[in-house]
Structure 1
Amino acid sequence: MRLFIAEKPSLGRAIADVLAKPLKKQDGCIYSADGDCVTWCIGHLLEQAEPERYDASLKKWSIDRLPIIPEQWQLVPKSKTRKQLKIIKSLIKQADSIVHAGDPDREGQLLVDQVLAYHGVKGARAKGVQRLLISDLNSMAVRHAMTKMRDNNDFIPLSTSALARSRADWLYGINMTRAYTLQGQKVGYQGVLSVGRVQTPVLGLVVERDRQIQRFISKPFYQVEAVVKQQGGQSPSFRARWQPSKACDPYRDEQGRVLNKGLAENVCSRISGQVALVSKLDKTLKKQPPPLLFNLSALQIEANKRYAMTAQQVLDNCQQLYERHQLITYPRSDSRYLPVDQHAMAGQVSGAVAANIVELNCVVDEADLSLKGRCWNDSKVDAHHAIIPTARKQDVSALDKPLRQLYELISRYYLAQFLPSYAFNETTVELEISGGVFVAKARQEVELGYKKVLPDRGHQQEQTLPALAQGEMLSCIDAKVLEKATEPPKPYNDGTLLAAMTGISRYVSSDAIRKILKDTDGLGTEATRAGIIELLFKRSFLQRCGKNIQATEAGKGLIASLPVSATSADMTAQWEAALNSISERESSYSGFMTPLQQSLFPLIKEAKATLPTGLKGVKVAKPKGRRRSTTAKKITRSART
């Protein structure tokens, strides 16, 4: 018997649907006519043991027993899914061969690997396990994936990376949460201080942004705008902006803005009615290729901008589109690229989009399906590829509005790959007026290209310039001083906070760490970022003010109480880089875990010497209907990220 172990029931059903019929459904599994069997996990069937599992005395929180470092790591069955774990154990004993069909990501790899190890699959039997990578639940895509199964041993580094992350999060979260919760009690704070290597730096980003806004003092600055026209012609006027010379530096701030109103007024009075000489003229044809396809974070950011969806709403709706409706591929992807052989599906996928969204018919008709742009790149794809529509045809008008919006957005980005680049002429004119330099810019559209399917959000019409020649004399017919004011940073919203998490190198204070970070490194993973943000809301560390996200008093107090290493992005960004390095076979499990374990001792020593006075007087609402001990246990479980 060949046994397929899927991560979720929906994936298990998709696999069974392509096996020999008739199918025979049994408790927790499905048999095919030729004897193959499909079973499934229900998410994680196993979880890290709590500290008291290692030592019963650790159930009582004591700062003198920290740090807690297990000598032999233990996994325990989840109580709600214990029955399914037993069913899988029985099927493994009967199986002649095993196919790992976890989701195509780091967590999906570890999830099934741990079940196999827990049930004693080792040696030659473990070496024979095959890996089935499915990103599309439609039958045709599943059949195709089954022709390309790989050796599961190829993914050991990915699984090891996930294991290191899981254990490291346990060590850091359990020890830091216990230490600071106990210290918090000494200043009268009665809540559990959940500390995690990802959630706490994310909270730190928000607290720091709130501080910047609160401390911001607006300052006026001044610009001079000249209104220029060709002499004796009928062409429309255009605007040019003054470029202060080096002599103006004493009157400018570090961003180059002029702070002296008198200086600006003097320039304005000198240029009005004067000749404007075209001293430099540059006209360049530029081409802009279609944007890359979506990974989950990019989709969450764009959907927040367009539709004000939260990160969690995007993830939840995408899971429905993937599992229930089978209209998109695997949504928890961190890749924005497609394998080259997927290009052969372009006709079927675009045809399905045309059938599902009537208004995109004209775009599909115009699309050149032979185009193979930068998104098709095998070197950028491993376990999973970018999120794209599937070849499934379905009346999407019957879907809920958020589902329709996301499906259409994903479809438009896919179709954009088969349209030409957006082409435009960019013209820059430099003018000399009364000894001062003024610059005017304009963009003239040449080819709309992919923007036929991806129109700009809130695009502002740029000015047009008449046909000009270098050395031409123009007239400055008017001039005015524009009085403006510096603005504080904007509060975070779901989209900008996600962008900060994915582009974490901008917030890393250490130049050395910034240098080792890659474009793909960030706070958390594609699968966890939305959950981390929501967790901070559940812990009452964050709150929503309209579309904005702000820290609560408890959140501010927690960050003020912790060492900088716990609240900044440096440490966790370095972790993510190290975990990626493990998955890419560039470093080892022990090379990551040993220094981490050693770092716990000074961290706990520092916690013991610190009283979190920032939380003095801050009250925490107790969860309704739950005993504090139960709540504390659940909070410390979630503290691990």
Structure 2
Amino acid sequence: MPKSLYIAEKPSVAQEFAKALKEQMARHDGYLESEKSVVTWCVGHLVTMSYPEKYDEKFKKWAFETLPFLPETFKYEVIPSVKKQYDIVRGLLHREDVGTIYVCTDSGREGEYIYRLVAMMAGVKGKAQKRVWIDSQTEEEILRGIREAKDLGEYDHLADSAYLRAKEDYLMGINFSRALSLKYSYSVTNYLGGKYQAISVGRVMTCVLGMVVRREREIRNFVKTPFYRVLAHQQFQEHKFDGEWRAVEGSAYYQSPLLYKENGFKEKKNAEALVQKLAQTESQESVVEKLEKKKETKNPPLLYNLAELQNDCSRMFKISPDQTLSIVQELYEKKLVTYPRTDARVLSSAVAKEIRKNISGLRQYSPAAAFAGEVLEKGSYQGIGKSRYTNDKQITDHYAIIPTGQGISGLARMSELSGKVYDAVVRRFLSIFYPPAIYQKISLVTRMGAERFFSSFRVLSEEGYLKVAGNPTAKKKEDTSGREEEVSCDQEFLAALSRLKKGSVLAVEGYEIKEGETSPPKRYTSGSMILAMENAGQLIEDEELRSQIKGSGIGTSATRAEILKKLCHIKYLSLNNKTQVITPTQMGEMVYDVVYASIRPLLNPELTASWEKGLTYVAEGSITPKEYMGKLEHFVSRHTLNVRQLKNQTALKGCFDAAAVYYKSGKKKEKP
């Protein structure tokens, strides 16, 4: 009877498959075997693309005469450090007693690529090949994946996009890095006074570098504008609160050139003049002109995808996206959470039907056991399949990251930080089974003569999902003009304000001039950069707005953290480990200027995202690999030849000089 061969991506995953099969497995060098099955593994990539010199020795020397490098047929080779495991896998693939090969590498583009390269190098022929596609490593999910495994051919489009992604990074990296290094490396190195260093560029990493440098230059060029607001200290019964003056229609200052914005003056003397005028009013009272009460409903946020989780972990725990991915990958391998490298923030309808199992398991997780029990008791999970948290159309490869409800005993053997990340995933998951949080809001407009003052208050009246997610202490919110949007208050104060009516009279106890200044843009943190990459260069901080924007970003959920890590490793970017704030290095700024003056499209987030979108179209079968490859080769060839013809080194020195003033002995001069 022919045996089944299971090929996992890592040894730890292979062990889980072996356990799930429940067969008497004997351990061998590089694989496990029973009477019916053989389980083996890759160790990440076993095969890689060959360097140009493997095509011809002439390509070993970097020279414009050998560029652009665009091979008709690409060469591949076994990675020397893992050749032993490759030989073992290759031998198993060719065993005569193996009838069916189950591909169990990670369920995504990169996992597909890892196996396809091995199969190509090994020359697999005449055997049934099936693709196992799973969302978690629980025994139940592994067995379902094996049971429902599809013919490998159904994933050929995905494999095509995987090959093209690698070719794209390879061709852009080799051609552009060589061309720019030949043209500019000596200029950059001589300017910095260090050892020769090649210029490293890439389809995604250079775009990210550009986003950071542009933001840093926006901050440097930002001119702070002072402004002066006038507040009236008002009192109703024993309650005191401030009203903010605004020059609305009817005011003596309406549309005055003295204003910075309607709620502040450009110069302090004008604010003082207004205060003096108000203080001379015979009756130091204000009259309620308008009172608006309304209820605000805040729904639980969508579930975590990798980018959202990386952003929250950067903000809450001050860890890098790379660290977050490493932790959540470990949680996945320990069966605690579902597949982490996902862009989806919703459940599939199939999973929604079985979600009770996940919730039930969380009763064993003491920090959230009471919440899980409450959800089960009330049955609030039953309608989740018809809610905004379930949408098959928003899922490509995998649904959102959620807890499996299994493996909880293993948490005790993991780090405290891993526990915190798991807790964040659990609370985000359980939140969706709770009602919205409800706030009561009151907006108040009071009048003194022709001048009006504005106040806004909010109180949490029904905790809803915040009971699980936590309710961070709300503070006064201010925009760059200093306008106070709303102030959190208690129920007693809100109840008192609710008794006010139009025409009610309030005592005015005095005035205050509050000085402020406009704020420069914020630097990216590692987490906000991941979000900006996901949204094609737009830093969209509003959680609800992000959920409405769908499209391919820069890089993928699987690669974004690694790109940031590489940029820091080659010292183009600097990451503050305590704050997770990202800034460019002097070398990074110089490389930005070089690319801007030579291959500017590499810095364009929308263009970079369009390449990723093209790969998605290939994976969907919308365009052919040949069409995509034709556009890629044209782009690489045109820009490589253009670099050779440029003569702009002298002009670039001016750019280098402009950036250099912000650096001293390798340390950035922070702008106050």
CA distance in 2, matches of 1:433, 1:119: 85
Distance change (3 Å), C-alpha of 1:96 and 1:311 = same
Per the TM alignment, residue 303 of structure 1 is displaced from its structure 2 partner at its CA by 0.8
Q: Which amino acid aligns with 2:594?
A: S
Q: Which amino acid aligns with 1:565?
A: P
* Structure 2 unmatched runs, 5+: 190-195, 476-486, 541-547, 666-672
Per the TM alignment, residue 60 of structure 1 is displaced from its structure 2 partner at its CA by 0.5
Distance change (3 Å), C-alpha of 1:579 and 1:339 = same
- For 1:162-173, list aligned pairs within 5 A: 162-173=162-173
Distance change (3 Å), C-alpha of 1:258 and 1:145 = farther
Q: Which amino acid aligns with 1:13?
A: Q
CA distance in 2, matches of 1:235, 1:152: 74
- For 1:80-91, list aligned pairs within 5 A: 80-91=81-92
Residue in 2 that maps onto 1:631: none
Distance change (3 Å), C-alpha of 1:2 and 1:249 = farther
Question: Are residues 1:204 and 2:206 paired?
Answer: no
Q: Which amino acid aligns with 1:369?
A: Y
Residue in 2 that maps onto 1:492: 524
C-alpha contact (below 8 Å) 1:294/1:388 kept by paired residues: yes
Residue in 1 that maps onto 2:630: 594
Per the TM alignment, residue 235 of structure 1 is displaced from its structure 2 partner at its CA by 5.0
Distance change (3 Å), C-alpha of 1:197 and 1:131 = same
Spell out, residue by residue over 1:59-111, the C-alpha distance to the aligned partner (whole angstroms, 9 max, x if none). 11002221110111122111122222222222222332222222122211222
CA distance in 1, matches of 2:335, 2:177: 40
Residue in 2 that maps onto 1:340: 349
- For 1:58-457, list aligned pairs within 5 A: 58-93=59-94, 94=96, 95-121=98-124, 128-187=128-187, 189=189, 190-230=196-236, 234=237, 236-245=239-248, 247-248=254-255, 250-252=257-259, 258-271=265-278, 274-323=284-333, 325-356=334-365, 358-367=366-375, 368-372=380-384, 373-392=387-406, 393-394=408-409, 396-457=411-472
Distance change (3 Å), C-alpha of 1:150 and 1:265 = farther
Per the TM alignment, residue 468 of structure 1 is displaced from its structure 2 partner at its CA by 4.5
Distance change (3 Å), C-alpha of 1:476 and 1:66 = farther
C-alpha contact (below 8 Å) 1:48/1:76 kept by paired residues: yes
Residue in 2 that maps onto 1:519: 550
Distance change (3 Å), C-alpha of 1:235 and 1:552 = same
CA distance in 2, matches of 1:201, 1:251: 42
Per the TM alignment, residue 53 of structure 1 is displaced from its structure 2 partner at its CA by 1.6
Aligned residue pairs total: 603
Per the TM alignment, residue 207 of structure 1 is displaced from its structure 2 partner at its CA by 1.4
C-alpha contact (below 8 Å) 2:47/2:76 kept by paired residues: yes
C-alpha contact (below 8 Å) 1:271/1:476 kept by paired residues: no
C-alpha contact (below 8 Å) 1:335/1:385 kept by paired residues: yes
C-alpha contact (below 8 Å) 2:230/2:264 kept by paired residues: no
Distance change (3 Å), C-alpha of 1:562 and 1:470 = same
Residue in 1 that maps onto 2:192: none
* Structure 1 unmatched runs, 5+: 509-516, 622-641
Task: Answer with 89-98 or 517-526: which moved more.
Answer: 517-526
CA distance in 2, matches of 1:187, 1:396: 53
Percent of aligned pairs with the same residue? 27
Q: Which amino acid aligns with 1:537?
A: C
Spell out, residue by residue over 1:161-188, the C-alpha distance to the aligned partner (whole angstroms, 9 max, x if none). 2222111111111111111111224426
Spell out, residue by residue over 1:192-231, the C-alpha distance to the aligned partner (whole angstroms, 9 max, x if none). 111111111111122122222222332211222233334x
Distance change (3 Å), C-alpha of 1:567 and 1:340 = same
Q: Which amino acid aligns with 2:400?
A: A
C-alpha contact (below 8 Å) 1:311/1:530 kept by paired residues: yes
Q: Which amino acid aligns with 1:452?
A: K
CA distance in 2, matches of 1:150, 1:251: 71
Secondary structure of 1:129's aligned partner: strand
CA distance in 2, matches of 1:557, 1:485: 32
Residue in 2 that maps onto 1:3: 5
Task: Answer with 415-424 or 153-162: which moved more.
Answer: 153-162
TM-score computed with the length of structure 2 as normaliser? 0.83
TM-score computed with the length of structure 1 as normaliser? 0.87
Task: Answer with 52-61 or 76-85: which moved more.
Answer: 76-85
Residue in 1 that maps onto 2:591: 558
C-alpha contact (below 8 Å) 2:537/2:554 kept by paired residues: no
Secondary structure of 2:307's aligned partner: helix
Per the TM alignment, residue 404 of structure 1 is displaced from its structure 2 partner at its CA by 1.0
Residue in 2 that maps onto 1:13: 15
Per the TM alignment, residue 605 of structure 1 is displaced from its structure 2 partner at its CA by 3.0
Residue in 2 that maps onto 1:639: none
- For 1:37-76, list aligned pairs within 5 A: 37-76=38-77
Per the TM alignment, residue 467 of structure 1 is displaced from its structure 2 partner at its CA by 0.8
C-alpha contact (below 8 Å) 1:7/1:42 kept by paired residues: yes
Spell out, residue by residue over 1:280-299, the C-alpha distance to the aligned partner (whole angstroms, 9 max, x if none). 33322232221111111111
Q: Which amino acid aligns with 2:488?
A: E
Per the TM alignment, residue 255 of structure 1 is displaced from its structure 2 partner at its CA by 9.9
The alignment yields a C-alpha RMSD, in angstroms, of 2.8
Secondary structure of 1:522's aligned partner: coil
